Amino acid sequence: MGLWAIVPVKPLRRGKSRLASVLSEDERALLNFTMLSSTLRTLQEVEEIDQILVVSRDPAALSLAREYKARTVQEDGQPELNTALQRATVVAQMYAAQEILILPADLPLLSVSDIHRILQRAKNPPVVVISPDRRNDGTNALYMNPAGIIEYRYGPGSFHQHVEQARLKGVRVEVCQLSTLSLDLDLPEDLDLLKQIEAMQIEP
């Protein structure tokens, strides 16, 4: 099974804590549930993806993932994100995954065409394809072929760290700048931007 998409998910009721000033806990939980569902639906529509794998310590998130026929990895305790992703990658490799695509569940504008554009950049491995956030600081999509060719460096400055890791290992790096992929929902200003975009899309 060649290409695996791995989706890391924080507990649905605890994720997006930095939006607490504008959204209640119930509203944040609903937002997280909705975005995860949307992400899984989008991934299902990409024929090139052989398997979806959701890694989380939240039973509700894992239950939702299984409704979409995704495989799941239950985190033990509260592992750091990079550790959780490394474990998930090992699981995928056990099932002969050759390519890995990491996508968080908080990209509200994610589309099938976005994923196709990433995969178009992924020819002639070894290669790493990275889509940064709109601040060019974080990593909103990370593709690697072969799987595990670089270590995960999620956290502040992850975009530059992932690029540097690939270059140090002599792996070709493709940066895929997409406005739809660059928006993740972390801060109230991100939510405001999403509302502006949605308002523009529904105008006659």
Tens digits of residue pLDDT in 127-184: 999 999 989 999 999 999 999 999 999 999 999 999 999 999 999 999 999 989 998 8
Could you tell me the pTM of the whole model? 0.91
pLDDT band, residue 76 (cuts 50/70/90): confident
Which region, left, alpha or beta, applies to residue 124 given φ > 0 means left and ψ of -120 to 50 means alpha?
A: left
As its CATH architecture, domain 3-202 has Alpha-Beta Complex (3.90)
Mean per-residue pLDDT for 21-27?
Answer: 81
Q: State the Cα–Cα distance between residues 15 and 48, nearest whole angstrom.
A: 29
Is the pLDDT reported for residue 31 higher than 90?
no
CB 132 within 8 A of CB 175: yes
d(CA 162, CA 150): 8
Residue 36: half-sphere exposure toward Cβ, Cα within 13 Å: 32
Hey, where are the domains in the chain?
A: 3-202
Candidates 8, 5, 28, 26; CA nearest to 187 is 28
Supply 83's token pair: 């550790």
Percentage helix, strand, coil for the chain under 3-state DSSP, each rounded to 5: 40, 20, 40
Report the alpha-carbon distance of residue 145 to residue 1 in Å, rounded. Answer: 13
Given this model, what pLDDT does residue 201 score? 61
Q: Which pair of tokens denotes residue 110?
A: 């994610």
